[in-house]
Structure 1
Amino acid sequence: MLEGNHSTVTEFVLTGFPGLPPQYHGLVSAILFIVYFVTLMGNATILFLFATDRSLHKPVYYLILNLCACDVLFSTTTLPKIISKYWFQSGSISFTACFVQMYFVHYLGTVNSCILFLMALDRYVAICHPLRYSHILKNSTILILSVTAWVVSKAGALMMVIRAYPLPYCASNIINHCFCDHIGITTLACTDRTSYSFPAFVNAMVMLLGPLAFICFSYCCIIITVLKIANLQGRLKTLSTCSAQLIIILLYYIPRCFVYLASNIGITFSSDVRIVIIMLYSLLPPMINPVIYCLRAKDMRESLLRQLNRRTIPQVSY
């Protein structure tokens, strides 16, 4: 139905990876399904360990719990639809559902960034002010900060949806992406998108670079504090307590900063390369974060080993 010189868009179509030959659709859907399954199982394991082992009821593990919940929700928001596109050739998504997905993509991305900020704060206080740690970061304090992160993060994502939803959209309803995001949707609007994209860009930069600035500051302070430790063994032991978090933070921020920086200094990618990079930094960390927790976090590793030992069936000798 035409409305003036605009057509009414009732649904969008996700292209996924535009240059992917049809014979690889089954393989890609299988890989994405495995990624989703491993993400769910890995994070469910962390949630199970936390629920069954009271020794993990510490501030840092409450933060890990929040990160697990955020990872599961983000993967569930994005992966089932793109899996169905390649598995069942169902790439269409309704107009409203696309905006709902866009909201959760940006909302959960903001929550993730805030939780990483809180994790850096936890390590900063633990290493730079160890005697005051139990007074500054109690479980109740972490609960309040975590709830605040989940609530405050709604504002930016909601603003994007409220401003983008009423825009007039042209006949083209093809989104060159694996999921609905602000840029992919507003590019299709039949209007100048500058006044809409700039506030969204500022919000993204604030929520990305704001926590990152504190994370860099906190780890600089941590390094300075560690260098003051005379014993080399003591230095390594102290650094090991934040190695898992540092790996997770690097996986989250480095690819994102690279994409944002490249787009602003004139480095261009093909649609396929850009989408692959975005999918890697969006979906790889939620899948491998649980592995990092269990391998690098001592309490988590010991809890997992205890659970495995309890479920080992003893050999019966005759």
Structure 2
Amino acid sequence: MNTSTRHDLSDIKLGDWVDRRLPSALRPYTRLARLDRPVGIWLTLFPCWAALIQASHGIPDFRLFIVFSLGALLMRSAGSTVNDIADRKFDGHVERTRFRPLASGQIGVARALIFLVAELALAASLLVFLTPYTRLVAICVLPLVFIYPLCKRFTYWPQAVLGAAFNWGMLMAWSEVHGAISVGALVMWLGAMTWQIGYDTVYAYVDVRDDARLGLKSTALLFGAQGKIIIGLFYGVTVLAWSIGGWMTGMSLPYTIGMLVIAVHLAWQTWRLDLARPEINYRLFLANILTGLLLAAAAFAGTL
């Protein structure tokens, strides 16, 4: 397939800044960590920042802000590396992932594993700045990080596992600031999970034909032609959970207004969704960066 065509669905664009500006030795590691595709970083950071703001009931301590931001970046990168190692034999047969470093042979498994150990070591070094309880909470996410890539082989719900792991920083934020994870914090985290099930299912529809051919599972394959309705329901549960969680964590009226804006934005996404047009679904997946930004902004407004 010509990679310059408009509807090429590869998530790696050859000839981008990685190819133009980085030494060849660094390129596969940059792509392995997804630094060239920062959407996942933002989708991890914004819920984490929102939780820090809610838990701090205002602007969080700058030290915590830096630690949690670096932690989200490193763990998202490590999770991506684990995923690429586990899926290396499938990715080369999927249009969206065919240029990934392991699938295309740019890097071997041994070097990818060494890189993963380095990522995890850097992430672990941040734990010295956190309380013992938060360290324990952080360690508990590791099984989810390693199990997720295997889930698509035996369950149609890998997106749920990913949602739990991706948003784990929200729980850590509350444990660090308050020394406990409140019920309201759990409700916010569950809302982030349903949000991720929704937007990652939109993403999965990009790969649905390749996944079916390879015998892999996803919520997109499970929902089938009813995906638009079911994604809308998950988005509706998200807004409800975040509204209730915000009330339980003491958010003020501006937070509620923020939830209404998010509701409109997610409703627009659902309306625009076209299961038969992967290029539209990919753009709608990217639109959730704005959803995360709106959540963080609503949390800040709710502390005023």
Give the TM-score band, short-chain normalised. 0.3 to 0.5
Point out the structure with max Rg over C-alpha: 1
Name the TM-score, length of structure 1 as normaliser.
0.37
Select the structure with the greater relative contact order (CA < 8 A; seq sep ≥ 6). Answer: 1
More strand per residue: 1 or 2? Answer: 1
